[in-house]
Chain A
Amino acid sequence: MVTSAPSLMETRPSASVRHPTVAAPATGAAVAPAGATLVDIDQLDFFYGALQALHGVTLGIENRKVTAFIGPSGCGKSTLLRCLNRMNDLIDGARVAKGMIKIRGIDIHRPDVDVIELRKRVGMVFQKSNPFPKSIHENITYGLKLQGQTNKARLDEVVETSLRGAALWDEVKDRLHTSGLGLSGGQQQRLCIARALAVEPEVILMDEPCSALDPVATAKIEELIQELRTRFTIVIVTHNMQQAARVSDKTAFFYLGKLIEYADTRTIFMNPAHAQTEAYVSGRFG
């Protein structure tokens, strides 16, 4: 549903004009009530060259909710996730053959959509933590500096709010200017989340953010997701059923590139409509 002016087009005022903070996120999010559909995926067919990875996926992702994508390996979860910020554009031969994705009513594949702006709005956290080989401070300010932000006080402020937002501030506040690669795996992943938070996205995509972490670090990230859900729309891919059940409001189950079932997480786990879903969430295949 269209709730605000087209915001992804190049014609909009440049990003450096607005000064949002983590505490009061993007303008649009304030307008759209939680639970309204923010991302609308409609009959999406996606191909890697000749290989069709997604078959007619239709799905609405709700504003300021956590949506989990689950399904066996190779079923297209990552592919769909990467469609949402058009990261698949970087892959040769990858293309959307049919259907569309609308964010706030804007088709993100329209030619006048600025993909750079899209990616600022739709942040991403990767499976393997990937901080830049730079200092913690530089990692977090990277996105803002790209947008032309040079005010040092402002950057410092964002570093603090982002790190606090990612529950990492207390652990690293004394070593902001040391390399981000010097942190533990779990800290690195939270640094990547902080880095994504710093550019004020509306949506945060997380592709198996805990798969390389131990249970303690995983618990921390899950806790963090619980905090972030009030301010951001989060889409998370996970292989961990308990995790999906714990953190998400809604769950989508995929199988062989098709969306099998999409419903409230409680429904998916307690009372799935499809036998395949039931088999998968109860661990009988996958």
Chain B
Amino acid sequence: MASSRPTEGTHFIAHKGTFRLFGLTLGDCIKFFFGGNAVVSVVVLALITIFLFREGAGFFGENRENLEVYRQAGLEYVDYIRTQQDDHTALTRYLSDLRVRQVNYLTQQKKLSLAAANAALAGFDTFADQYGDAVEPIRTLVSDLTEQATAIKEKFTVTEDRKTQRAQLLAAGQTEAAAKIETVPIDFVAELKPILGTLPAYREAAAEFSRRLNAVIATAPAMPEPALQARLERFKELNAEYLAGFPSVLRNLESWDFRAPVPASRAFTSFLFGHEWRTASFWQDWYGVIPLLVGSIMVSVVALVLAVPLGVGAAVYVNQIASPFEQRLIKPSIEFISAIPSVVLGFFGIAVLGQLLRALSQVPGLAWVPGFPYAERLNILTAGCLLAFIAVPTIFTLAEDALNNVPRAFTEASFALGATRLQTVVKIIVPASLSGIISAVLLGLGRVIGETMVVLLCAGNRIAIPDFTAGLAVITQPVHTMTGIIAQEMGEVVQGSIHYRALFMVGLVLFFLSLGINYVAQGIVRRYRISIG
């Protein structure tokens, strides 16, 4: 000891805290360690954002090309006529529905046997069949045109593939091999000639079609009941509207020009407002985010409707009413839920909850519930229930925090004025922490909308906008979600392809949605802090 003690004063001062690593003192090391970590996380976040943008941005260019091919190869032209055909199909579906209603009426009200009812509807069936067959001239035309347009597109795709192949070879320095690959530029004018040449044929077919429709509609048999008759009249109206639309189809065809440029905004709007997400189709791929967005939102709304009362109610109970023993029991149990891996929850949803809910929906006594009974085990409701389960811990924990932050002075003042505990909770504590509770709900929403595994497994994965005309029953329909589609398709797409970039765009939409939700939630929290002050 004594020997190690420095002998001179200066030495003593210099000796103190001289531990240095690469010329840094311990304090510096600690500072740089934490500072470094903070910088790394910011950098990683920035990189993720940049990467998302970079990969997604290419989408618009490619989508525009995609839409240009759609036009140049004549697919757009054919789709005008196809839409006409599809609208007719929708009308025939209306007739099928009408037939079902008539059968119901005849068997239930008139007590006819099924065979007798069918026999009574023979006249209607002839009418419906004739109505359905009237489209024949158009149908033939469409199927011819479809073949031709597909062929043009095919040619174009092959040429494009060759071009990329050659470019790759050139890049690799194999000039000879590259020279061997021929690329014949496609002469769209020539290719499209046969398609455009069908215009007179279309005119004739359309005229024939409308003549037949008019003839058939005149033979519509009378309905056995006023309500059904009203439906038939409605059908006649729809038919008249449909026929009135013929000239505009023709106008579209006549004025159609494959050289007309596709506006750049179309690449954007067809994504953001597109109603169809169809990939790897033989005809035309569409990348419209709406069905996925609607799916995500529907699932989240159902989840919140279930999770908010549960989470907030539990928070109020634990914070204000529960005994210390209950608190010790309930709080960790709810918080434990967030430790369950979501894939396990999804599995539970498929194996148990989906079955259970469907079985429940088929209980006769519950038929009054909108959408009950249903057959699809995996749907918005199943996924929503599971997501609610995921959102509850978030909402519970944050809402409980908000309740805790209500100053004790408010509670005491309320009690001192003769309020009961319940009155104090309802009139003082909940209102005072309302903004905190709202932000808890929003953060729960953020949690739910970003959840992937559960929706992928349990939402049913049907890419279509659910049918909102069903009212509340819409929640028993399957949907696909933004997170689900990314998880499902990202592994299979070719890197750099339009489909790949479209998925990135979906990711970006999700990113901004979550960002927006968080931003709003934080804004509310900030205001809330000030107001309690």
Write the residues of chain A forming the contact surface with B, with a CB cutoff of 8 angstroms. Answer: 85, 87, 90, 92, 116-117, 119-120, 123-124, 126, 128, 130-134, 142-143, 146-147, 181, 192, 195-196, 199
Number of A-B contacts (CB under 8 A): 64
Q: Which of A85, A92, A131, A181 contacts B416 (CB 8 A)?
A: A85
Binds A, one of B392-400, B405-413, B453-461: B405-413
The answer to whether B417 and A130 touch across the interface, beta carbons within 8 angstroms, is no
Name the 6 nearest CB pairs between A and B, nearest first.
A130-B409, A120-B418, A143-B417, A124-B416, A119-B418, A130-B413
Flag B421-443 by CB within 8 Å of A: 1 or 0 each: 00100011001100000000000
Within 8 A of A (CB), among B114-132: none
Which residues on B sit within 8 Å (CB–CB) of A192? Answer: 413
Which residues on A sit within 8 Å (CB–CB) of B200? Answer: none
The answer to whether A119 and B416 touch across the interface, beta carbons within 8 angstroms, is yes
Least distance between A278 CB and chain B CB atoms (Å): 35
The answer to whether B412 and A90 touch across the interface, beta carbons within 8 angstroms, is yes
Complexed CA–CA distance, A196 and B413 (Å): 9
Known contacts A146-B423, A181-B533; decide if A133 and B410 are in contact (CB<8 Å).
yes
Q: Which of B324, B410, B427 contacts A130 (CB 8 A)?
A: B410
Known: A116-B419, A131-B413. 9 other contacts (CB 8 A): A92-B324, A116-B418, A123-B417, A130-B407, A132-B410, A132-B414, A142-B427, A146-B427, A147-B418
Complexed CA–CA distance, A90 and B410 (Å): 13
Complexed CA–CA distance, A156 and B444 (Å): 41
The answer to whether A116 and B409 touch across the interface, beta carbons within 8 angstroms, is no
Complexed CA–CA distance, A128 and B414 (Å): 14
A-B contact pairs, 10 of them (CB 8 A): A87-B416, A90-B412, A126-B412, A131-B413, A132-B432, A133-B432, A134-B431, A143-B417, A147-B418, A196-B417
Q: Which of A90, A92, A117, A199 contacts B417 (CB 8 A)?
A: A199
B407, B416, B419, B432, most chain A CB atoms within 10 A:
B416
Write the residues of chain B forming the contact surface with A, with a CB cutoff of 8 angstroms. Answer: 324, 407, 409-410, 412-420, 423, 427-428, 431-432, 531-533
Closest chain B residue to A85 by CB distance?
B416
A85, A116, A128, A181, most chain B CB atoms within 10 A:
A116
The answer to whether A199 and B418 touch across the interface, beta carbons within 8 angstroms, is yes
Complexed CA–CA distance, A22 and B68 (Å): 83
The answer to whether A146 and B419 touch across the interface, beta carbons within 8 angstroms, is yes
Which residues on B sit within 8 Å (CB–CB) of A124? Answer: 416
Which residues on B sit within 8 Å (CB–CB) of A146? Answer: 417-419, 423, 427
The answer to whether B417 and A195 touch across the interface, beta carbons within 8 angstroms, is yes
Which residues on A sit within 8 Å (CB–CB) of B532? Answer: 133
Least distance between A130 CB and chain B CB atoms (Å): 4
Known contacts A130-B407, A133-B531, A146-B423; decide if A119 and B417 are in contact (CB<8 Å).
yes
Least distance between A212 CB and chain B CB atoms (Å): 12
The answer to whether B416 and A123 touch across the interface, beta carbons within 8 angstroms, is yes
Least distance between B159 CB and chain A CB atoms (Å): 71
Least distance between A136 CB and chain B CB atoms (Å): 14
Complexed CA–CA distance, A142 and B418 (Å): 10
The answer to whether B428 and A117 touch across the interface, beta carbons within 8 angstroms, is no
Complexed CA–CA distance, A166 and B410 (Å): 20
Which residues on A sit within 8 Å (CB–CB) of B432? Answer: 132-133
Which residues on A sit within 8 Å (CB–CB) of B324? Answer: 92
Closest chain A residue to B421 by CB distance?
A90
Complexed CA–CA distance, A181 and B409 (Å): 13
Closest chain A residue to B406 by CB distance?
A133
Which residues on A sit within 8 Å (CB–CB) of B423? Answer: 146
Which residues on B sit within 8 Å (CB–CB) of A196? Answer: 416-417
Which residues on A sit within 8 Å (CB–CB) of B414? Answer: 132, 142
Which residues on B sit within 8 Å (CB–CB) of A119? Answer: 415-418
Which residues on B sit within 8 Å (CB–CB) of A85? Answer: 416
The answer to whether A130 and B412 touch across the interface, beta carbons within 8 angstroms, is yes
The answer to whether A126 and B418 touch across the interface, beta carbons within 8 angstroms, is no
Least distance between A94 CB and chain B CB atoms (Å): 14
Known contacts A133-B531, A142-B427; decide if A90 and B415 are in contact (CB<8 Å).
yes
Known contacts A133-B432, A133-B532; decide if A117 and B418 are in contact (CB<8 Å).
yes
Least distance between B395 CB and chain A CB atoms (Å): 22
Complexed CA–CA distance, A124 and B414 (Å): 10
Which residues on A sit within 8 Å (CB–CB) of B531? Answer: 133, 181
Which residues on B sit within 8 Å (CB–CB) of A147? Answer: 418
Least distance between B135 CB and chain A CB atoms (Å): 68
Known contacts A117-B418, A120-B418, A133-B432; decide if A126 and B533 are in contact (CB<8 Å).
no
Which residues on A sit within 8 Å (CB–CB) of B533? Answer: 181
Complexed CA–CA distance, A120 and B418 (Å): 5
Which residues on B sit within 8 Å (CB–CB) of A123? Answer: 416-417
The answer to whether A126 and B413 touch across the interface, beta carbons within 8 angstroms, is yes
The answer to whether A116 and B420 touch across the interface, beta carbons within 8 angstroms, is yes
Complexed CA–CA distance, A128 and B428 (Å): 18
Complexed CA–CA distance, A134 and B428 (Å): 9
The answer to whether B415 and A143 touch across the interface, beta carbons within 8 angstroms, is no
The answer to whether B417 and A126 touch across the interface, beta carbons within 8 angstroms, is no
Complexed CA–CA distance, A282 and B409 (Å): 33
